[in-house]
A = this chain, B = another copy of it.
Amino acid sequence: MDPLRWLANDYFDLNGLHVDVLEKPPTALEFSRLVHISRPVLIKGFKIAANSNLWTNEYLIERMGSRPISIAVTPNGRADAITTGPNNKLYFTEPCVEQMTMPDFLAKLSGNASHPQEGQSYDCETYYLQSQNGNLYSSRFFDGHDDGSSSPEFEPLRRDVPSEIPWCSQPLDRTPDAVNLWIGDGSSVSSIHSDPYENLYTVVRGEKSFTLLPPTEGWCLNERVYPYASYVRDPASSKLRLQLSAEETRVRWSSITDPNIPGALCDSAHPIHIVVKPGETLYLPAGWWHYVQQTGITVALNWWYDMEMRGPSWALLGFLRNMKDVPDGNEEEEVTTNETAQ
């Protein structure tokens, strides 16, 4: 049998769809065991100031004032995703990043919330705060180089968010690589991908719905390589348009745009669905694939910790990534066309 299929099947036979639910945060020793097991865990009762009903729109506006913040703008709510461009060619597409203020941003989300139709916002654009560059705390902070002159965009909200989670930092023996704020609504989705980080994801408001696959089932996602594009705002029309990359940048990404569509995944894939509600925290282990949807205006925080590179974990993730060919995402279609033509 194909090695990747064998490992996926055996892993599933051993682990099933099991997800631990903890009624209170684990101790450092308990979390260390969870990292070794490397399965998702839903953790309740992780209390921080940010998730004590403090973060109303009014509070966020008051704290942030008129500071510029970076917002991802797309015509379809799909930032960092595969998009059809000119000549029906597929592109890995990054959003247009625009500077605005918190009041402006939240107003756009509010407008959007009254239009629950997914992928369609009030002005046919979707706004998502997803800068994910350590927008609350970055490695500069932990290295002691965050002197205030180069503080991240959401520095005024730091008072409500601990820079690290003691029961994570202790067992992992490190500080986070990045701590991020995420704000969006139901019109934004995150396409399925995986990160080489141990991820702690806390929902403050709204709901996040995760569709998860273990690293062993990554080959079911039919990764392809795509040319790179990004949305830019046309100065003349003020509309977003796709700008193709002049460089030969190619991005490896799953060709499955929505793993929840019946038949999208092969038989060996066993997706796990977890809804994370306010005050709840998801431990998303390194290498797990995740597709994320939101319900209503959703405010969340995440702590990314570098995963352990020593031992088998990193080597196993590399193996799972590298044992399958990753064809060109646009050539396959040509092949299909040829076959149809013949």
Q: CB within 8 Å of B: which residues of A?
A: 3, 6-7, 10-11, 14-15, 18, 28-29, 32-33, 35-39, 170-171, 173, 215-216, 308-316, 318-319, 322-323
11 contacts between A and B (CB under 8 A): A7-B315, A7-B319, A11-B312, A14-B309, A14-B315, A29-B29, A33-B171, A33-B173, A37-B311, A216-B312, A312-B312
Query: In whole angstroms, what is the CA distance A6 to B3 when docked?
Result: 12
Query: In whole angstroms, what is the CA distance A70 to B18 when docked?
Result: 44
Q: Which residues of B contact A36 (CB under 8 A)?
A: 32, 35-36, 308, 311, 313
A311 vs chain B, min Cβ distance (A): 4
The residue in chain B whose Cβ has the minimal distance to the Cβ of A11 is B315
A26 vs chain B, min Cβ distance (A): 12
- The 3 lowest CB-CB distance pairs between A and B, nearest first, are A37-B311, A32-B32, A11-B315
Q: Which residues of B contact A32 (CB under 8 A)?
A: 29, 32-33, 36, 171
Known: A6-B323, A319-B10, A323-B6. A37 touches B216 (CB 8 A): no
Q: How many copies does the complex hold?
A: 2
The residue in chain B whose Cβ has the minimal distance to the Cβ of A323 is B3
Query: In whole angstroms, what is the CA distance A57 to B309 when docked?
Result: 46
Known: A3-B3, A171-B29, A318-B10. A39 touches B323 (CB 8 A): no
A204 vs chain B, min Cβ distance (A): 29
Q: Which residues of B contact A311 (CB under 8 A)?
A: 15, 36-39
A35 vs chain B, min Cβ distance (A): 6
The residue in chain B whose Cβ has the minimal distance to the Cβ of A318 is B10
Query: In whole angstroms, what is the CA distance A318 to B310 when docked?
Result: 20
The residue in chain B whose Cβ has the minimal distance to the Cβ of A4 is B3
Q: Which residues of B contact A310 (CB under 8 A)?
A: 14-15, 18, 37, 39
Q: Which residues of B contact A7 (CB under 8 A)?
A: 315-316, 319
Query: In whole angstroms, what is the CA distance A33 to B310 when docked?
Result: 10
Known: A33-B171, A33-B173, A36-B32. A316 touches B322 (CB 8 A): no
The residue in chain B whose Cβ has the minimal distance to the Cβ of A7 is B319
Known: A3-B3, A33-B171, A171-B33. A216 touches B14 (CB 8 A): no
* Contact yes or no, B38 A312, CB < 8 A: yes
Query: In whole angstroms, what is the CA distance A310 to B39 when docked?
Result: 8
Determine which of B10, B216, B315, B323 lies in contact with A216 in the assembled complex, contact meaning CB atoms within 8 Å. Answer: B315
A98 vs chain B, min Cβ distance (A): 41
A9 vs chain B, min Cβ distance (A): 10
Query: In whole angstroms, what is the CA distance A88 to B126 when docked?
Result: 77
Q: Which residues of B contact A10 (CB under 8 A)?
A: 315, 318-319
A112 vs chain B, min Cβ distance (A): 39
Query: In whole angstroms, what is the CA distance A15 to B309 when docked?
Result: 9
The residue in chain B whose Cβ has the minimal distance to the Cβ of A28 is B29
Query: In whole angstroms, what is the CA distance A219 to B120 when docked?
Result: 55
Q: Which residues of B contact A315 (CB under 8 A)?
A: 7, 10-11, 14-15, 216
Query: In whole angstroms, what is the CA distance A32 to B316 when docked?
Result: 19
Query: In whole angstroms, what is the CA distance A14 to B316 when docked?
Result: 11
Known: A309-B14, A310-B14, A312-B313. A29 touches B319 (CB 8 A): no
A6-B322, A32-B33, A38-B312 are known; give 7 further A-B pairs, CB within 8 A.
Answer: A6-B319, A7-B319, A33-B173, A38-B311, A39-B310, A216-B312, A216-B315
